Amino acid sequence: MTSRADDFVQDATAILDIAKKKQVVLRLLGALAFRIHCSNFSQLFGVLGREISDIDFAGYSSQAKNITAVFTEAGYIHDTEAMHEVALSGRMTFRPRPKPIPRIDVFLDRLDMSHMIDFRGRLELDYPTLDLADMFLEKMQIVMINEKDIQDTIVLLREHEVSGVNDEGKIDVGHVANILANDWGFYYTVVSNLGKVANALQKYEALSQSDREVVGERIHSILGLIEGAPKSTKWKLRAKIGTKKKWYKDIEEVKR
C-alpha cells in the first residue's frame, strides 16, 4: 500500500518527465523536495509525523505558456478561482482533473513571502529540486516558522553537510551568507530561525543523540559562516535600527 507521499512523488515525476521532454525548466520545492533530496534520512519524516498535502514547483516566467502546456498534457487545469490572487503574487496554480488534489503551485522567478528568494539563473543548479541552499532559505525565510518547517530543516541538515562554497551534495552557505550580508532583515530572520531549530532538537524523542549532535554542529557551522561574511554598509545601517522597524513582509502584503 502506497502512502500519499509516494503518490505525490509519482505525480511530480510524471510532470517533470513531460517538462524535460518539452525543455521546460521546473524544479520541486516545498515538502516533497525535502523528501526527495533527503533519501538517506527520509524515515525521519515519518517518525516526526511530517505529512505532505500539496506539490510545489519553481519555474521561469519566460516559460509561463510552456508551463501551462506541461500541466495540460499531465491532466491538470488552471485553478480559475485562484488566478487573480496568484497572478499578483507571481505564481500559477493547477489542479488535476477531476479530483481536487493535489493542488500544485508554480512559483515564477522567485519565492516572495516573508523575504524574497530569487530563483533566476539558479534552477539549473540541481534536479529535480531547487539547489540545497535555496531549499534551506525557503524554510529559513519564514518569520512565523511552524513545526513542519522546522522538521524539514532538521532532516535537511541531518542529510547534507554544509560548505562555504558550491560543493555538490552540500549546502552552499557561502551563497546564503552573501545574500544575508546585504539584507539585515533576512539575516535576522534566518539567525532567529536557526536558534528555533536548535532548540527543537531536544523536543523530538524520535531523534537519536547522533541526529541531534550532527544537526547541532551544522547549525553552528552555518552561523559561523553567516556571521563571518563581510557586511554591506546598507546592512550595517539597517542593523542599527534593528527590530524597532519591521524587517519582513506579511503574507497579506505579498498577496496585495
pLDDT in tens, 90-131: 899 998 887 766 789 999 999 999 999 999 999 999 999 999
Report the alpha-carbon distance of residue 197 to residue 215 in Å, rounded: 9
Contact 76, 57 (CB under 8 A): no
Contact 123, 60 (CB under 8 A): yes
How confident is the model over 157-168, as a mean pLDDT?
94
Asked if residue 88 has pLDDT above 70, the reply is: no
Q: Which residues contact 237 (CB under 8 A, 6 or more apart)?
A: none
Helix axes 4-21, 30-37, angle to 10 degrees: 90
- Check residue 181 and give its pLDDT: 98
Summarised one tens digit per residue, pLDDT across range 38-68 is 999 999 988 888 888 889 999 999 999 999 9
Asked if residue 78 has pLDDT above 70, the reply is: yes
Report the alpha-carbon distance of residue 162 to residue 77 in Å, rounded: 39
Cα dihedral sign, 45-49-55-59? negative
Cα separations (Å) of 177 from 130, 170, 237, 246?
18, 15, 18, 21
Higher pLDDT, 23 or 253: 23
Higher pLDDT, 216 or 86: 216
Enter the C-alpha cell of residue 70.
Answer: 506541461
- Check residue 1 and give its pLDDT: 43
- Check residue 89 and give its pLDDT: 62
- Check residue 84 and give its pLDDT: 56
Higher pLDDT, 215 or 255: 215
Asked if residue 146 has pLDDT above 50, the reply is: yes
Contact 89, 254 (CB under 8 A): yes
Mean pLDDT of the chain: 92
- Check residue 86 and give its pLDDT: 55
- Check residue 96 and give its pLDDT: 85
Asked if residue 82 has pLDDT above 90, the reply is: no
